[in-house]
Structure 1
Amino acid sequence: MSGHSKWSNTRYRKAYQDAKKDKKFSKIIRELHSIIKYNNNANIYDNTKLKLVVNKALSYNMKRVTINKIITKYHQQYNHKYISHNVNYLIYYGMIDRITLMIQCLTNNKNRTINFIRNIFDKYHGIICDYRVDHYIFQKKVSLTYIVNNNINRIIDIAEQLMPNDILFNKKTIDVFFSKQKYKDILILSKKFVIQPSEIKFVTIPYIKYHINDKIKQKLISIIHNLQSNVDIKKISHNAIYV
């Protein structure tokens, strides 16, 4: 016998996959709580951000029962009024080597989260900004993702009819971008076509970009990896471009 166990390998692989899945589900659940609290609205038909998060949860195969339990909890227990779960949606900005990072967080302890972020930036000789920079460095867009399957010309025709701000061609997908103000109109118009987007989401895109070399690239990757180790940190955006 070789001494290898197929069951043992399967068990460890499944344990790793389950841990990764639990971490993703935990972030989505915290995001659901935060979006409802931020908009003071648990109605999925009136709260577009909540609808996006629900679609995201379903795309990760989260059970509809679990999602509904979170949403209906506010209606049933608190007589249609949102009671704080002490989860806050926060955005922090940091700069390092002329690169700006936007760090979006879901946390029940603001001091814990900011201290963690500050320690990371101190380690890499960066700074935490005391002012908002998103209005002139980052912009929010609505992204429609289409899967390419011998239908690229039809997808381009759809994109042209929707009149997007930008189109990004990837190996297996095409991303079509619109201003966030057009979200409701795009949602209605996109349903009229035979080919439907595989995903609709809000994305943060930098419009002031900074080119970096290989050394700074490795430093940036290391910073992002360290930040992502904290479950409070939901998303990290930056304006660096590697040439």
Structure 2
Amino acid sequence: MAGHSKWANIKHRKGAQDKKRAKQFTRAIKEITVTVKDGNGADPETNPSLRNAISNAKGVNMPKDTIERAIKKASGADADSYELVTFEGYGPHGIAIFVECTTDNTNRTVASIRSIFSKSGGSLGTNGSLEFLFDRKGVFVLDTTSIEQSTEELELELIDGGALEFEKDDELLTVYTDFVDFGKMSSKLEDLNIEPKNAEVQRIPLNTVELPLDQAQQILKLIDKFEEDDDVQNVYHTLDVTDELILELENE
């Protein structure tokens, strides 16, 4: 998982400064809507999934009143209804890509995702064809500047909550757990009175492919195309995000 969090955190910081902020808000509102409508209701005290969605919304600096409006709308009779769908395929240079979407029109989403794959020289595969290339992990991003404990003390506490691996990137600490320990870690952070900047189940590649810089940049542009689509929530891939590539991203 080396380099995974650093690349994700670079994207997070850049996204807060440009047009991606609107996309982040759209994603957060959809996450809130799905968690409210999943049967556990609009009260974050009794709906841990909603608490997590609210935390993620705060992590992208969504205003409190926008969060409250999203919850209220999601609990109303006229709330949007979303379906979770996934797509798997290959981009150029043999890079596997897994796309997670939240959509109110599956036909539109299928057509859009297929078009992005096709125009890039890639191909859309069948569901389940690439899932074995990824491992589902709980991923929690913590801002250590707001935590009184030292990083070493904190890590010892979090191991009790199921933490398997840590990645430090300046003031951010990324914590990885097994998929089944996502709830356990969420509870541990609540006990420690720590609100993560982001917490979600992600698909981490078991193996990655290193490409020349120009080819790697081509893949990242393709990933940006997916992420610009309103229906796309997450994009995972098997590209090796090298130090050289990270340096290039930081200088953009």
Range of TM-score over shorter length: 0.7 to 0.9
Distance 1:98 1:67, change over 3 A: same
> Structure 1: which 5+ runs fail to align?
1-15
**SS, match of residue 142 in structure 1:** strand
Q: Which residue of 2 aligns with 1:92?
A: 87
Q: Which residue of 2 aligns with 1:128?
A: 124
Matches within 5 A, 1:108-147: 108-133=104-129, 135-147=131-143
Work out which of the residue numbers 201, 206, 209 in structure 2 matches 1:208: 206
Letter in 2 for 1:111: N
Identity rate of aligned residues, in percent? 18
Letter in 1 for 2:197: E
- Once residues 204 and 32 of structure 2 are traced to their aligned partners in structure 1, the CA distance between those partners, rounded to angstroms, is 25
Letter in 1 for 2:210: I
> Number of paired residues?
221
Work out which of the residue numbers 99, 106, 111 in structure 1 matches 2:102: 106
Letter in 2 for 1:202: E
Contact in 1 for aligned 2:103/2:109 (Cα 8 Å): yes
Q: CA deviation at 1:120?
A: 1.7
User: Is 1:180 paired with 2:179?
Assistant: yes
- Once residues 187 and 228 of structure 2 are traced to their aligned partners in structure 1, the CA distance between those partners, rounded to angstroms, is 38
Contact in 2 for aligned 1:107/1:113 (Cα 8 Å): yes
TM-score under structure 1 length normalisation? 0.74
Letter in 2 for 1:203: V
- Once residues 134 and 22 of structure 1 are traced to their aligned partners in structure 2, the CA distance between those partners, rounded to angstroms, is 30
Contact in 2 for aligned 1:146/1:155 (Cα 8 Å): no
Distance 1:186 1:163, change over 3 A: closer
Q: CA deviation at 1:101?
A: 0.9
Q: CA deviation at 1:135?
A: 4.3
Matches within 5 A, 1:32-181: 32-37=32-37, 39-43=38-42, 44-73=44-73, 77-78=76-77, 85-96=80-91, 97-133=93-129, 135-148=131-144, 151-181=150-180
In terms of Rg, which structure is larger?
1
TM-score under structure 2 length normalisation? 0.72
What root-mean-square deviation, in Å, do the aligned CA atoms of Structure 1 and Structure 2 show? 3.0
Higher relative contact order (CA 8 A, sep 6+): 2
Q: Deviations over 1:21-47 (max 9, x none)?
A: 44432332233223444x243243454
